[in-house]
Chain A
Amino acid sequence: MKKLTAFVAGLLFGIGLLLAGMANPAKVLGFLDIAGAWDPSLALVMVAAIAVAWMPFHWAMKHPTSLLGAPMQLPVSRELDRRLIGGSLLFGVGWGIAGICPGPALVLLPTGHWQAWVFVIAMLAGMLIFKALQARR
């Protein structure tokens, strides 16, 4: 059952990204270009997503197990450290270069654009580089 709900959640997430225009790098860059012709659409995507997810996440914070009996696994760290800030800034630079973040990158893979494959391979390589750096610490 957990596998089914996970699959359906992924499917809904992907349809949402496509409908919202998040899977169109040009549109994402139009949102990030506040000094040009600014397309505020993606701010509304965030607002709507948070509005819908607000109550379920607040429910989740008060319950130790999920409806299917799985342990509630919400992040517990509260530290505002250099890794969080530096990592997020670096992610933002990459997002600003191509207009693609991890979710849309995966959704773009089956649409037949070579650019998506180049981006996803580089992104996975980046994650492996992080893993290798972690292992050396």
Chain B
Amino acid sequence: MVDTIHFTPWSALAGGALIGLAASLLVVANGRVAGISGLLGSLMSPTDSGRGEKALFILGLLAAPLLWALFQAWPAIEFKTGAVGLVVAGLCVGIGTRYGSGCTSGHGVCGLSRLSPRSIVATLCFMFAGFVTVFVLRHLLGL
């Protein structure tokens, strides 16, 4: 069943277009992939190249909500997970994205845009695991 109350097609399309535009800008101007987990991982390696521009991309990401708050109230933000769940989830995301060489941005947006076979496989894997995890937690365990 589609949840017609929470379905927001126009803001989803507009937000997605902005994400695509941002990824395009970074690759066309800087020659780099806008993959957040990869950029963070690279910032942890003192020998990697271009750490200045990578740090500025991350800084832009952190500044975005502040710019948003100048013009708009915060959008709805609701967490469904307690402290333990957040720690487990954060560890899985941190380790998993580094082993898998990317996350929703690097594989899901940038990789799919160039039809990379690795990114197609990675995206199918994390989508599948996400669907299964929510199904198990919500519908089998009732959490």
The answer on a CB contact under 8 Å between B62 and A86 is no
* Chain B residues near A89 (CB-CB < 8 A): 96, 100, 125-126, 128-129
With A40-B7, A118-B90: A92-B125 Cβ-Cβ less than 8 Å: yes
Question: Considering only CB atoms and an 8 Å cut-off, how many residues of chain A contact the other chain?
Answer: 115
Determine which of B24, B68, B75, B127 lies in contact with A56 in the assembled complex, contact meaning CB atoms within 8 Å: B24
Residues of B1-33 whose CB lies within 8 A of A:
1-3, 5-9, 11-33
Which of B19, B135, B137 is in CB contact (< 8 Å) with A49? B19
Cβ < 8 Å to B, chain A residues 75-90: 75, 77-80, 83-90
Q: In the assembly, what is the distance between CA of A2 and CA of B32, in Å?
A: 11
CA distance A40 to B65 in the complex (A): 24
Q: Which of A25, A32, A51 has the most CB of B within 10 A?
A: A32
Given contacts A39-B3, A48-B13, A96-B129, contact A90 B28 (CB under 8 A): no
5 nearest A-B residue pairs (beta carbon): A126-B94, A10-B60, A14-B64, A20-B15, A92-B129
Interface set of A (CB-CB < 8 Å, partner B): 1-27, 29-30, 32-42, 44-54, 56-61, 65-68, 70-75, 77-80, 83-103, 105-111, 113, 115, 118-131
Question: Contact residues of B with A, CB < 8 Å?
Answer: 1-3, 5-9, 11-34, 36-37, 40-41, 44-45, 50, 52-54, 56-68, 74-81, 83, 85-105, 107-114, 116-118, 121-123, 125-135, 137-139
